[in-house]
Amino acid sequence: MDLLQGTLDMLVLRTLAAGPLHGYGIAKAIRGSSGELLDIEFGSLYPALKRLEMKGWIAAKWDTSEFNRRAKYYRLTPAGKKQLRREHSKWAEFVLAVGQVMGPAPEGGKP
């Protein structure tokens, strides 16, 4: 499934709200929580992480991973939390609005 333009940042912020993760962990978590529907390529996730870091919404630190390997862990900053809340309410409004326009699935077509 393709991502809507601009939703990747929001997804990353939401995923990190649960706790710090390294880059690959974020990709895995999004895939897991979307029921394997959203498969984010690491190649597009990584620049997005750097963009969020640049904006000050997430921060990164080197740490030791579950298999005792070094990895860079990202966590949400207070500014990131605020941004997530903003994005979340915007997203909810958007879903509501689009839902109202679309209504139930039109008849005659196969579901």
45-104 residues near another protein, rule: CB under 8 A: 46-47, 50-51, 54-56, 65, 67, 69-72
Q: How far is the CB of 23 from another protein (least distance, A)?
A: 6
Question: In sequence order, what are the residues at sequence separation of 6 or more whose Cβ sits closer than 8 angstroms to the Cβ of residue 59?
Answer: 53, 74, 75, 77
**Residue 23 lies near another protein (rule: CB under 8 A):** yes
Closer to another protein by Cβ: residue 56 or 99: 56
Give the count of residues interacting with another protein (CB under 8 A): 20
Closest CA relative to residue 15, chosen from 93, 76, 95? 76
Burial class (CB in 10 A: 0-12, 13-18, 19+), 17: middle
By CB under 8 A, tell whether 17 contacts another protein. Answer: no
Residues 36/106, Cβ–Cβ less than 8 Å: no
Provide the binding-site residues for another protein, judged by CB under 8 A.
22-24, 27, 41-43, 46-47, 50-51, 54-56, 65, 67, 69-72
